[in-house]
Amino acid sequence: MTNAMALAKAIADAVLYEGYLLYPYRASAAKNQLRWQWGVLMPPSFTRGGEHPDTRAELLMVPSAGATLHVRLRFLHLQARVAEVPDGDGYRAVPSVTVAGHDHTTWDEAVEREIDLAVGVTNLVERGTRLPFEVDGGGEVEVIAGGAGARLVRTRWTLRGELRLRADPVPGRPEALKLRVWVRNTSPWTAADACRQDALRRALISAHTLLAVSGGGFLSLVSPPEWAADAVRGCRNERTWPVLVGEQGRDDAVLCAPIILYDHPRIAEQSHGEMFDATEIDELLTLRTMTLTPEEKRQVRATDARAAALLDRVDGLSGESVKRLHGTMRREDPAEGVHGAARGGDSAEGPHGTARGDDPPEDAHVLLDGVLVGKGSRVRLRPVRKADAHDMFLAGRIAVVHRVMSDVDGGTHLAVTLEDDLGADLLAASGLYRYFGPEEVDPL
């Protein structure tokens, strides 16, 4: 189980710090005035703005006899860092204090927290389990050397929460269990008129859970075996999404994350480190960071130690490392995996299976309404699966078929480009298509 958790940690860390601090990585930037957007579990008394105190995950597992489930809840604990200067007999807070040319800025930091639980799977079936937990508050005072009494005061507030688990047999499949995992912030708080920033002091931030089973495995919610399809459709996940993690093919570990991921997500090997924004492009963020002025970099370093480390990492990149970030295009061996696909309609990389085997023959075709549709055919798109948010913009558009492909489940996919897309030839030459099922097109 320790090995399974270790393999999942890189992905979990990326989730933990998603949006922690955004480019240009300084406290004065407008985008860094409203932080902590992912996986925030507020105290129950704070209900404004669609905030919630809990998450619920449901997934299927097939444990072996005597299996143990290890659960690790991870989150960030807000730590307020306030710069103070002497004022009469006491101190007063200031936005920043400069000592020997170095700024010390008032800022909210974060401390990583982990809550671990190991329980026999049999116990979960018989009665479930509940683990209340408490994370102590506290703080420290750091006197700034040479600062004429200036100091940094760090403060944390006590957090309380609850982790609950239960497993129930899947009807008709006694070997399979439906596992339920609840996480709830139970921190008491009565300041009804307080703002979101105050409530964050008592929140579980970027909360997510890692699950590992000592024997047996979990089933994918993205592409479950056929016998489990109905049970998977009955799984209810609220503000979290379970995916298999670790090496491809492993099924003994799951990450329940506040963002939607595919099974077995990976950190790109070209990435040189955390940029705190996995929805962005590392190359773009790296090049932008390189353009920061010396004054901007000084402000970044004064904002946060993690931001300062990011700057040091970017400043130390070699030219070769920067080149590796740029536009890598892959086309894997068809005998091993995926044909490249642009998003739009259902991709052969998606929930209906992975395109495998030899490249389809040039004359591969499918019969639609009495018309043979194959390479070069023109079709009108009418997406019905709603597999992609962009489908609404593609309805009614004319496309050209480049390939008729089959996935490992026997499904058929038409690889197309849009007829009026000026970049269609380039996409086709690169093997980048949009994929639709036969029921989603009309032959012309």
Could you write out the DSSP letters of every residue in 416-440?
EEETT-TTHHHHHHTT-EEEE-GGG
Kindly tell me if the per-residue pLDDT of 387 is higher than 70: no
Confidence at residue 279, expressed as pLDDT on a 0 to 100 scale: 67
Least confident of 310-314, 386-390, 413-417: 386-390
Confidence at residue 411, expressed as pLDDT on a 0 to 100 scale: 86
Mean pLDDT of all residues belonging to the chain: 88
Confidence bin at 431 (pLDDT 50/70/90): confident
Taking only the tens place, the pLDDT of each residue in 288-330 is 999 999 999 999 999 999 999 999 999 999 988 888 888 655 5
Kindly provide the residue ranges of all beta strands, DSSP E only, lying in 44-120, ordered along the sequence: 54-63, 68-87, 90-94, 96-99, 102-105, 107-120
Confidence bin at 345 (pLDDT 50/70/90): very low
Asked if residue 265 lies in contact with residue 243, where contact means CB atoms within 8 angstroms, the answer is yes
Least confident of 214-223, 293-302, 347-356: 347-356
Question: Around Cβ 79, how many Cβ atoms within 10 Å?
Answer: 19
Distance of CA 147 to the CA centre of its chain: 41
Residue reference for tokens 């030219």: 319
> Taking the domains of the chain in order of start, what are their residue ranges?
2-320, 341-443
Confidence bin at 346 (pLDDT 50/70/90): very low
Across residues 344-352, what is the average pLDDT?
34
Kindly tell me if the per-residue pLDDT of 200 is higher than 70: yes
What is the CB-side half-sphere exposure of residue 178 using CA atoms within 13 A?
A: 19
The pTM for the full model equals 0.75
| C-alpha closest to that of 81 among 108, 99, 55, 114 | 108
Asked if residue 152 lies in contact with residue 81, where contact means CB atoms within 8 angstroms, the answer is yes
Confidence bin at 67 (pLDDT 50/70/90): very high
- Pairwise pLDDT comparison (53 vs 320), residue with the higher score: 53
Confidence at residue 375, expressed as pLDDT on a 0 to 100 scale: 92
Across residues 163-177, what is the average pLDDT?
95
Kindly tell me if the per-residue pLDDT of 219 is higher than 80: yes
Torsion of CA 18, 322, 30, 206, to 10 degrees: 10
| C-alpha closest to that of 3 among 256, 173, 214 | 214
Residue 228 DSSP class? G
Distance between CA 372 and CA 177 in Å, rounded?
46
Distance between CA 271 and CA 279 in Å, rounded?
13
Kindly tell me if the per-residue pLDDT of 20 is higher than 70: yes
- How far from 398 is each of 205, 257, 401, 418, 426, CA to CA, in Å? 46, 38, 10, 6, 18
Helical axes 282-290 vs 305-315, angle rounded to 10°: 90
Taking only the tens place, the pLDDT of each residue in 73-105 is 999 999 999 999 999 999 999 999 999 888 999
For residue 394, the one-letter residue type is L
Confidence at residue 287, expressed as pLDDT on a 0 to 100 scale: 92
